């Protein structure tokens, strides 16, 4: 039995459960297709079933959990089509963001991105994939905030669970962490140099990294994916 996890009693339980379960799903600590029991989750987190139900409802809205009435609740399988749609949305938004930032070159942003890049370089050489991923997310989120578009980050984040799981499956691939660090370095250099076209080209190449290998990832882990859609 898993050790009981203590929640912060000064905060509502449902949002904390949502955050914890979402993190476990995206990190693949809870695998695609894994069953979820409200009774077991209530015992694990020492709460009633009401906040568990609320957390699972939000995860269902984000398509990270599937509820089958009178049957079962499971972590959703990875839907490549949905991941591709989210990638399209994120790319469209971030291409405009990096263009704006390269034109304005905010000094505070550049300093913060350099600090995040240094942290990623350190984490690249450790087994801490979770910390590396968090820093990766922080790098991009900081750009949204600098452009005054943090609400759009929230929108993208709410849809990103499927593509984030794809990326997590891809992270252990040889050279993947090096490529992410290198891509971030190129994006940062273009923003600092005031080169909007180069910033966009670098971002476009960066965001396409995982989807280029999606079929190989699916073949390596077929049990984690929904059946391929027919044209």
pTM (predicted TM-score): 0.89
Token pair for residue 173? Answer: 């691939």
Are 74 and 149 a contacting pair, CB within 8 Å? no
Which residues, 6 or more positions from 130, have their beta carbon under 8 angstroms from its beta carbon? Answer: 27
Q: Report the pLDDT value the prediction gives residue 1, as an integer from 0 to 100.
A: 43
| Domains delineated in the chain | 13-75 (1.10.10.10), 80-224 (1.20.120.530)
| pLDDT by position in tens, the chain (length 231) | 455 577 777 788 899 999 999 999 999 999 999 999 999 999 988 899 999 999 999 999 999 999 988 778 999 999 999 999 999 999 999 999 999 999 999 999 999 999 999 999 999 989 899 999 999 999 999 999 999 999 999 999 999 999 999 999 999 988 999 999 999 999 999 999 999 999 999 999 999 888 889 999 999 999 999 987 655
């Amino acid at each position: 039995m898993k050790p009981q996890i203590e929640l912060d009693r000064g905060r509502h339980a449902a949002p904390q459960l949502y955050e914890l379960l979402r993190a476990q799903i995206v990190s693949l600590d809870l695998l695609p297709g894994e069953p979820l029991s409200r009774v077991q989750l209530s015992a694990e987190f020492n709460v009633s079933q009401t906040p568990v139900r609320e957390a699972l409802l939000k995860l269902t809205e984000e398509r990270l959990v599937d509820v089958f009435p009178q049957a079962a609740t499971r972590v959703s399988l990875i839907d490549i089509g949905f991941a591709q749609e989210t990638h399209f949305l994120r790319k469209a938004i971030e291409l405009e963001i990096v263009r704006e930032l390269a034109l304005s070159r905010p000094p505070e942003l550049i300093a913060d991105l350099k600090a995040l890049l240094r942290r990623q370089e350190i984490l690249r050489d450790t087994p801490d994939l979770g910390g590396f991923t968090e820093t990766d997310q922080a790098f991009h989120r900081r750009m949204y905030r600098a452009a005054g578009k943090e609400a759009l980050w929230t929108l993208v984040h709410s849809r990103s669970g499927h593509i984030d799981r794809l990326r997590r499956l891809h992270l252990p691939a040889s050279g993947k962490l090096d490529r992410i660090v290198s891509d971030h370095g190129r994006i940062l250099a273009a923003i600092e140099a005031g080169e909007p076209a180069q910033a966009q080209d670098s971002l476009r190449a960066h965001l396409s990294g995982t989807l280029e290998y999606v079929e190989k990832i699916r073949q390596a882990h077929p049990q984690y994916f929904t059946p391929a859609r027919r044209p």
